[in-house]
Amino acid sequence: MTSTQTNNPFPPDLLPRLDPRFVEYYDKNLAGRLGTHQVPLEEVRANPQKWARKWPVNTTQSRDSLIYDWKIAGGRDSEGFRIRTYHPNETLAGPGPYAVHLNFHGGGWVFGDLTTDATLCQRLSDQLPLVVVDVEYRLCPGKFAQAQFGQNLNDAWAALLWTLENAFTLDINPLSVSIGGISAGAHLACVLQHRARDANIALKLLIAAVPPLADHDQYEKPTDSPWPSFSEFSHIPMLNWERMSFFKQQAFPTEKLANIRHMYPAWWISPLRAPNFANLCDTFIATAECDILRDEGEAYGKKLIEAGNRVTFRRYLKVPHSFMYMTSVLPQAEQYQEDVFNALRVGHGL
Q: Give yes or no for a contact between 67 and 133, defined as CB atoms under 8 angstroms apart.
A: no
Distance CA 182, CA 104 (A): 7
* Residue 257 neighbours by CB distance under 10 Å: 16
For the chain, 350 residues long, give each residue's pLDDT as a single digit of tens: 444 445 666 778 888 999 999 999 888 888 777 777 877 777 777 777 776 766 655 555 556 559 999 999 866 556 789 999 999 999 889 999 999 999 999 999 999 999 999 999 999 999 999 999 999 999 987 544 457 899 999 999 999 999 999 999 999 999 999 999 999 999 999 999 999 999 999 999 999 999 999 999 999 999 999 999 999 999 998 899 999 999 999 999 999 999 999 999 999 999 999 999 999 999 999 999 999 999 999 999 999 999 999 999 999 999 999 999 999 899 999 999 999 999 999 999 99
Q: What predicted TM-score, i.e. pTM, was given to this entire model?
A: 0.92
Q: Exposure pattern of 194-205 as b/e (b: 16+ CB <10 Å)?
A: bbbbeeeeebbb
Domains and CATH numbers, the chain: 13-25+61-348 (3.40.50.1820)
DSSP 204: S
